[in-house]
Amino acid sequence: IITSLVFLLMVVTFPISGWFALKIVPAYERMIIFRLGRIRAPQGPGVVLLLPFIDNWQRVDLRTRAFNVPPCKLTSKDGAVISMGADVQFRVWDPVLSVMMVKDLIAATRMTAQNAMTKTLVKKSLREIQVEKLRIGEQLLLEINDMTKSWGLEVDRVELSMEAVLQPPRENLVGPLGTVPPVPGLEGLDGTIQQLAAHFFSSTLALAGSGTDAPEAADSVETVNEVEPPPAPLLTTISSTWRKPSADELLSAVEPVLSEALVGQVGASYQVNIILPNGTQSTYFIDLSSGSGRAGRGMPEGSPDVILEVAEKDLQDLFLGDLRPLSAYMSGRLQVKGDLHLALKLEELVKAMKQRR
């Protein structure tokens, strides 16, 4: 009876009531309506009729979204203390369940992902975490989906990101994934940043050493560095002072890693607007859409697929591996105009620069 009376009132006051009763729902959304407290089937896309006074409604976005799990301190199985975070991509597959089962999807999923990550990583050693990062991410994806499927939500990707190793493992690990001896000229940085800098500057690093006679109270590994580093053009001097490369130097380091394989993985062209410390802006291009790719200063030929705007400091962190593209976008440090999926493919370029020695 109440529904009939409200519908009759809406007809009598039409077309004024039409401005309030008719809603347009785009293809990537669904509208969940509660009529007198009872939920109805998802409405949309298209024009949806709402009855005033007795209908409460909520829009649900079906597109893939992302969030980051803030870095947290964890203690691994071998006693190492690490700061570990994660990037998570998810989408809603059942809009009714997503509204009925949980109030805040992102907050609930972030907490679930953080708990699953903590429970998994404390059972593994530092070496296992570094070597099996991709497999651990796939395992976490399955565990998180087991808990969130009843919410109408599906996690598409979980990517772990190690911010830093705060304390080395108690066991004496010797090797490229154990405690790394300081690189001459980079003593002021921690081991992770030294490795990234060594990769970026094409330095050849060989490790040799032993730590079997260390005192019982010491938890570190004694190593002997018998290799003198080759001259690095981007280091100001061979001393403990180290500076990050400028934008021009970064782009010159991009060109040697361009290849047809990288173009096949990315397949897009980018215009990069870099905000310099003095407030001016420089424009560069990275064309990974054809051939073996090109990079240089100025505007790209034709219309770029993606336009990126980033401060010079954040660009340095991106190319040196200290900042992930998804984390930079989520925190607002990387502005993207165009396809976000293509923008995140720049991570392939960063990986290629790390792998090149």
- 197: in domain: no
Same domain, 39 and 79: no
DSSP SS3 for 96: helix
- 308: in domain: yes
Domain of 306 in residue numbering reads as 247-356
More confident site: 190 or 106: 106
Same domain, 41 and 108: no
pLDDT of residue 220: 37
CA angle 20, 25, 26 (to 5 degrees): 145
**Confidence band of 17 (pLDDT split at 50, 70, 90):** confident
Separation of CA 259 from chain center: 24
Same domain, 284 and 319: yes
Q: What value does the mean pLDDT take over residues 344-352?
A: 78
Q: What value does the mean pLDDT take over residues 167-177?
A: 58
Same domain, 265 and 313: yes
Handedness of CA 119, 122, 124, 129 (dihedral sign): positive
Question: Which residue, 60, 75, 91, sits at the end of a domain?
Answer: 60
For 231-266, what is each residue's pLDDT tens digit? 444 433 333 344 567 777 777 777 787 888 888 888
Question: Which residue, 125, 147, 167, sits at the end of a domain?
Answer: 167
For 107-133, what is each residue's pLDDT tens digit? 999 999 999 999 999 898 888 888 888
pLDDT of residue 348: 80
Q: What value does the mean pLDDT take over residues 188-217?
A: 41
289-to-37, 252, 346 alpha-carbon distances in Å: 53, 19, 12
pLDDT of residue 169: 84
Same domain, 6 and 87: no
Instruction: Give the count of domains, the chain.
Output: 3
pLDDT of residue 224: 39
Tell me the C-alpha distance between 71 and 234, whole Å.
Answer: 30
pTM of the shown model: 0.46
DSSP SS3 for 285: strand
- 182: in domain: no
pLDDT score of 96 more than 70 = yes
Same domain, 19 and 89: no
- 269: in domain: yes
CB 192 within 8 A of CB 176: no
